Amino acid sequence: DAGVTQSPTHLIKTRGQHVTLRCSPISGHKSVSWYQQVLGQGPQFIFQYYEKEERGRGNFPDRFSARQFPNYSSELNVNALLLGDSALYLCASSLAHNEKLFFGSGTQLSVL
């Protein structure tokens, strides 16, 4: 069975640009969450979506947005990139919104 898949695996952008990160959950999982992991820190919660609705939002600026599609895949969008947005972005899926999370390998974003 395929796990949580994320694309791309690596990405390099410049300040001010926009980025879209994609996530496909495990088959049958209806909840997708996004986390940001800066080097040397634990993952920080950004968003959770369940059944295509936003169920939680972390302490991130409005430049960060996300959505979930009818097939339960998800996109994370970040506008007006800053150097500080450089991080590993993790997607996790679960059967329901309070179940065990399964993580993908992440997208490593570098902002120059």
Give the helix, strand, coil percentages of the chain, each rounded to 5.
5, 50, 45
Q: Which stretch binds another protein (CB under 8 A): 16-24, 66-74, 76-84, 100-108?
A: 100-108
Specify the residue, 32 or 81, whose C-beta has the smaller distance to another protein. 32
Contact 75, 10 (CB under 8 A): no
The reply to whether 7 sits near another protein by the rule CB under 8 A is: no
Exposed, middle or buried, 40 (CB in 10 Å: 0-12/13-18/19+)?
exposed
Residues facing residue 51 across a β-bridge:
none
d(CA 105, CA 91): 8
43-82 residues near another protein, rule: CB under 8 A: 43-45, 48, 50, 55-56, 58
The reply to whether 26 sits near another protein by the rule CB under 8 A is: no
Residues facing residue 20 across a β-bridge:
77
Q: Which of 19, 76, 78, 106 binds another protein (CB under 8 A)?
A: 106
Q: Which stretch binds another protein (CB under 8 A): 10-18, 60-68, 76-84, 94-102?
A: 94-102
Can you give the binding site for another protein, defined by CB under 8 A?
A: 3-4, 33, 35, 40-45, 48, 50, 55-56, 58, 90, 92, 97-98, 100-106
